[in-house]
Structure 1
Amino acid sequence: MGMGDIDLRHRIAKRAAQEIEDGMIVNLGIGIPTLAADYIPSHYEVWLHAENGIMGAGASPLQGEEDPNLCNAGGFPITLTKGGSYMDSTTAFGIIRKGMLDMTILGALEVSSQGDLANWIVPGKRVPGMGGAIELAQKAKKVVVVMSHLDKHGRSKVKTACSLPLTAKACVDLIITDMAVIEVKSQLLILREVMPPFQPEDVIRATEAPLILAPDVKSVV
């Protein structure tokens, strides 16, 4: 991965973090979503939930200070914030299933114009399992997807209909890519913001699904 790719991942994560409000309980998926934790304002009291049994997950530890017994759902080392707690995974999933999460930020392979999410398997490829994505997508009060706008073959990942097996139907509220911020509303896709240096017409050309331009399309800061 080149430095440009790393920078893009952080730009997407930084924009996703702007959706997080003070006092929220938030679950961050593996990959780009995890980076959003670095951009939550320090004065916010935000509780990061991990489905392997943590409420109050903290930042990544410094190299050499990792606790081998403390990791997030992706198996990466983390810390625990003041007031954080441990629980078994049954309780952690109970929090999800009861609808207590204010937001989840998830990666995706495809999102459809209806807000359908495909993010857990590419047929024929090895996969460790769907993890908590199905419950998170269905039960979180707000579902934010972060991903590249195009796949490695240059094809749109924002599609009229998903071609990959679905994680959940009509669950996505907001899509943030390296090109745009797109709101899913009433089974329509509304282009709200564009990532520099792109213009709205660039995003429209690169997107398979039809987009509606918001009356005041902004540029992501």
Structure 2
Amino acid sequence: MSHSSYKKWTREQMAARVARDIPEGAVVNLGIGLPTLVAAQIPAGLEVILHSENGVLGMGPPPPAGAEDYDLINAGKQPVTLLPGGCFFHHADSFAMMRGGHLDICVLGAFQVSVRGDLANWHTGAPDAIPAVGGAMDLAIGAKQTFVMMEHLSKSGESKIVAQCSYPLTAPACVSRIYTDLAVLAVTPQGLQVLDLVEGLSVDTLQDLTGQPLLRP
């Protein structure tokens, strides 16, 4: 089967696709890894309030080269900017915001997502892997919506969308949307609904690559 007729979205295109679905006024946490790229894709003039679990509200896009301030970082220790009205607070207050249902959306990376929206993103179970929970469990359960941003296939070419997660769960049935380098899928009670896919990719090919039943657009 030839898959050469389509081109995967770049990481920046994936981030822009996520940004497109964030409504005006939303309070959004961006997880470590791919999700941090979303900050640079929020359209100018759209008010989105970015939260970071290390105690920042009102983050702006990444600073230009040479203007980094390493006292001003996100949870992934990357330099960020602060928009007018932005503020800092204690780590415990940050987690209270996450757990208290005050975030509209969190965008997280993942190792696996199941068809029912179970999320596995903190540990692969490999003996040499360093588990990294961070705030993932609090975010996945606390945010009103959890968006996952990940590559569609693992490095070995296996689908990261599975019938059942084989890795330890971060949280069950918490994911509402999956954004990959091939498609955007909504997790619904009926199954995974295809919302968008890269140009030149058919739903049949996406279905073959995913290995799970997909509901057509």
Instruction: Please indicate, yes or no, whether the TM-score normalized by the shorter chain is above 0.5.
Output: yes
Alignment of 1:43-54 (within 5 A): 43-54=45-56
Tell whether 2:173 aligns with 1:170. Answer: yes
Residues 151-190 of structure 1: matches in 2 within 5 Å? Answer: 151-186=154-189, 188-190=191-193
Deviation of 1:59 after TM superposition, in Å, equals 1.6
Kept in 1: contact 2:8–2:198 (CA 8 A): no
Taking structure 1 as reference, are residues 194 and 6 closer, same or farther at Cα in structure 2, changes over 3 Å only?
Answer: closer
Return the match for 2:149 from 116, 134, 146: 146
Q: Secondary structure at the match of 1:93?
A: helix
Q: For 1:125-153, what per-residue CA distance to the aligned partner results, in whole angstroms no more than 9, with x for missing partners?
A: 33262101101111111111111110011
- Following the alignment from structure 1 to structure 2, what is the Cα–Cα distance between the partners of residues 128 and 58? 29
- CA shift, 1:6, in A, is 10
Partner-residue secondary structure (3-state), 1:35: helix
Bigger drift between 139-148 and 181-190 goes to 181-190
SS of equivalent to 2:216: strand
Mapping 1:35-74, distance limit 5 Å:
35-74=37-76
Match of 1:218 in 2: none
Question: Residues 28 and 105 of structure 1 are in contact (CA less than 8 Å); yes or no, is this contact kept in structure 2?
Answer: yes
- The answer for the alignment partner of 2:128 in structure 1 is 125
Selected match of 2:94 from 76, 92, 95: 92
Which one of the candidate residues 204, 209, 213 is aligned to 1:210? Answer: 213
Please state how far the C-alpha of 1:7 moved relative to its aligned partner. Answer: 6.2
Output aligned runs, 1:11-30, within 5 Å: 11-30=13-32
**Percent identical:** 44
Report how far residue 68 of structure 1 moved: 2.0
Q: Does the 8 Å CA contact 1:115/1:184 hold for their aligned counterparts?
A: yes
Structure 1 Cα separation of the partners of residues 69 and 51 of structure 2: 18
Residue matched to 1:115: 117
Q: Structure 1 stretches (4+) deviating beyond 4 angstroms? A: none
Q: TM-score, normalised by structure 2?
A: 0.92
> After alignment, is 69-78 or 127-136 more displaced?
127-136
Normalising by structure 1, report the TM-score.
0.91
Report the secondary structure of 1:111's partner residue. strand
Tell me if structure 2 keeps the 8 A contact 1:53–1:92.
yes
Residue by residue over 1:146-190, the C-alpha shift from the partner in whole angstroms, topping out at 9 and shown as x without a partner, is 111100111000101111111000000001111111110116111
Cα distance, 1:92 vs. partner? Answer: 0.5
Q: Distance in 2 between matches of 1:116 and 1:147?
A: 14
